[in-house]
Amino acid sequence: MTAPSLYQRHRKWALSLAAEHDDSDGGRLTALVVLWRCVKEWDLDSDFRDFARPRILEALQRERVT
């Protein structure tokens, strides 16, 4: 699977995480940026969502603090 197709496949999921935790324009943008980073860093040895979820949530938490 290519990086763009993996990103597109999980885009709606990342946006729903943002909606649950920081439903702002900045939160949605943060979730999408981190999703793209995760697509590039994922090593295929784990479930993608298990890999990406904590990273997205951590970024959303940092976004709320600043």
CA-based torsion, 58, 64, 35, 21: positive or negative: positive
**Percentage of the chain surpassing pLDDT 90?**
79
* Secondary-structure breakdown of the chain: helix, strand, coil percentages, each rounded to the nearest 5: 80, 0, 20
Predicted TM-score (pTM) of the model is 0.91
Helices 25-41 & 48-65, crossing angle to 10 degrees? 140
Task: Check: CB of residue 22 under 8 Å from CB of residue 62.
Answer: no
Task: Check: CB of residue 42 under 8 Å from CB of residue 1.
Answer: no
Give the integer Cα–Cα distance in Å for 60 and 55.
9
Q: What is the mean pLDDT of residues 37-59?
A: 94
